[in-house]
């Protein structure tokens, strides 16, 4: 079973994270902050990552990463 399939089975991909005010996983924030700086400085702001506002592309990526890291945390505890 893939990480996505397990996360889906555990309901991690269906959470209304923004609406429910669920905090981002710390690793998601770390990755987004790295990507924002790396993309801006080394790729001419190709993706133009934005983070912290409703509907920002970085915010959406963080929500997707949250489900991944939460599943990986579950796997590590099993």
Q: Render pLDDT for 31-73 as a digit per residue (tens, 0 to 9).
A: 999 999 999 999 999 999 999 877 899 999 999 999 999 999 9
The DSSP symbol for 24 reads P
Measured between alpha carbons, how far is 11 from 49 in angstroms, rounded to an integer? Answer: 27
Measured between alpha carbons, how far is 60 from 55 in angstroms, rounded to an integer? Answer: 7
Measured between alpha carbons, how far is 40 from 64 in angstroms, rounded to an integer? Answer: 21
Q: Report the pLDDT value the prediction gives residue 5, as an integer from 0 to 100.
A: 98
Q: Report the pLDDT value the prediction gives residue 78, as an integer from 0 to 100.
A: 83
pTM of the model: 0.91
For residues 76 and 8, is the Cβ–Cβ distance under 8 A? no
Residue 2 has pLDDT above 90, yes or no: yes
């Amino acid at each position: 079973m893939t990480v996505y399939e397990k996360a889906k089975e555990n309901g991690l991909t269906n959470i209304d994270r923004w609406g429910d005010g669920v905090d981002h996983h710390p690793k998601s924030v770390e990755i987004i902050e790295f990507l924002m700086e790396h993309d801006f400085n080394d790729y001419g702001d190709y993706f133009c990552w934005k983070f912290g506002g409703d509907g920002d592309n970085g915010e959406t990526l963080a929500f997707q990463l949250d489900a991944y890291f939460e599943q990986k945390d579950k796997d590590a505890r099993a």
